[in-house]
């Protein structure tokens, strides 16, 4: 079904490469943010549902 859609639509290769590029850029940005994030912030966010502080 998808193969027929891709074969019949004009410029499908541009759409497929663009969507792959957007996915890769998003994945790389999230990975970089993960590795540059401070450990204190990660610990805070991981314990957030368990804290009962009303501050």
- Domain tally, the chain: 1
Q: Does residue 19 lie in a domain region?
A: yes
Range of the domain at 38: 2-50
Model confidence over 12-32: pLDDT tens digits? Answer: 778 888 899 999 999 999 999
Q: Are 12 and 6 in contact (CB under 8 A)?
A: yes
Q: Does residue 23 lie in a domain region?
A: yes
Of residues 39 and 51, the one with the higher pLDDT is 39
Q: Does residue 35 lie in a domain region?
A: yes
pLDDT band with cut points at 50, 70 and 90 for residue 2: low
Q: Name the H helices within the chain.
A: 2-8, 12-36, 39-47
């Amino acid at each position: 079904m998808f193969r027929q859609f891709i074969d019949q639509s004009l410029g499908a290769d541009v759409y497929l490469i663009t969507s792959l590029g957007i996915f890769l850029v998003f994945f790389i940005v999230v990975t970089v943010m993960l590795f540059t994030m401070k450990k204190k912030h990660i610990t805070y966010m991981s314990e957030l549902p368990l804290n009962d502080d009303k501050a």
